[in-house]
Amino acid sequence: MSNISDGTLVSTRIRLARNLEGYPFPSHLKDEKQAKEIIRLVSSGLNRLDDFKLYYMDGISEWEANSLKENHLISPDLIARKRSAAALINSDRSISVMINEEDHLREQCIIKGLHLKRAYDRLSAIDSKIGRSIKFAYDEQLGYLTACPTNLGTGLRASVMLFLPALTLNGNMREVVRSISRLGLTVRGIYGEGSEAEGYMYQVSNEVTLGVSEDEIISQVDEVAQKICALENAERNKLKTGSARLTVKDKCLRAYGVATNCAVLSSVELTRLAADIKLGACLGYIPIANVSDIDDLVARMQPYNMNISAGRELTAGERDVYRAEYASAHIKKLASAR
């Protein structure tokens, strides 16, 4: 199932945690020469497989590092380990390999829609390529050895990003989260652990990695994501026919009106307005065919992405003016293209 036309199933992410045998975990890696050696070993193992580009965290600007973070290609923790960390990112930016984050390797693949098996197969090929030239830390009973015990075993995190405005507005998310937790899964915000669910966006992923196979993890997350999608669609029907129908319609159309007619627009406000515009599109009130285009717009309008695009450091005021102009034109174009 890959239905993203209704906007519920936003994206799939597969992540593998790996460590090299014979080296301390990154938190205990005090020798900078060892850290650089790990980077060299990993990058040499990938250089012939795909068009990967190597980014040394101490060799790129603050703008570029934070732009990669805004695009979910690297983590804040990788940026914090500046002197000993790096990332390998492929040409279409669907796969990234963080080196010397919490583990020596954090490999990830992100694909739009619900494609857990496809994403796993792609990343598994990368993992196998690296593993042919590097020996991973592995135990027959515990599986892959990781810095955090919660990643022991497969080292696999299978995640699905979901857009759940109706479940949120109708007050059902608390019960959904409880039900998911009982199944051994977890719910986080858009930027992962510890982040808030901005714009009705929730990340559902497995918590258990030890004592289960990769196929079992993927199958469970896939099944739960599809069930949540069905619940969300049922709640959307209630929004369209219930007593709050006009209130919700007004909320969505007002968001469209503000986003397409304002003079200044902060990134926080754009995220909020975009969520309501997406809901309006999903309910048929706003003629936008592919709501994932709105997600792409929000990502492009993040502060460091805008600096990269402009080629200079914009002030907060300049960003808010440019964001308002760009978002207005882009959203109107999406609405007229249907």
| Residue that the structure tokens 């810095």 belong to | 147
Measure the CA–CA gap between 182 and 164, rounded to whole angstroms.
20
Measure the CA–CA gap between 328 and 308, rounded to whole angstroms.
20
Of 70, 102, 235, 269, which one is the catalytic site residue? Answer: 102
Two tokens at 85? Answer: 């960390």
Of 83, 150, 175, 178, which one is the catalytic site residue? Answer: 150
* 150 in catalytic set: yes
* 252 in catalytic set: no
Residue 22, Ramachandran bin (φ over 0: left; ψ between -120 and 50: alpha; else beta): left
* 188 in catalytic set: yes
* 102 in catalytic set: yes
* 106 in catalytic set: yes
Of 13, 81, 122, 157, which one is the catalytic site residue? Answer: 157
Measure the CA–CA gap between 26 and 81, rounded to whole angstroms.
9
Q: Could you tell me which of 46, 22, 32 has the C-alpha nearest to residue 81?
A: 32
* 118 in catalytic set: no
* 8 in catalytic set: no
* 157 in catalytic set: yes
Of 18, 81, 106, 323, which one is the catalytic site residue? Answer: 106
Of 8, 12, 13, 15, which one is the catalytic site residue? Answer: 15
Question: Which amino acid, residue 282?
Answer: C
**Residue 20 DSSP label:** B
Measure the CA–CA gap between 128 and 214, rounded to whole angstroms.
14
Positions annotated as catalytic residues are 15, 102, 106, 148, 150, 157, 188, 193
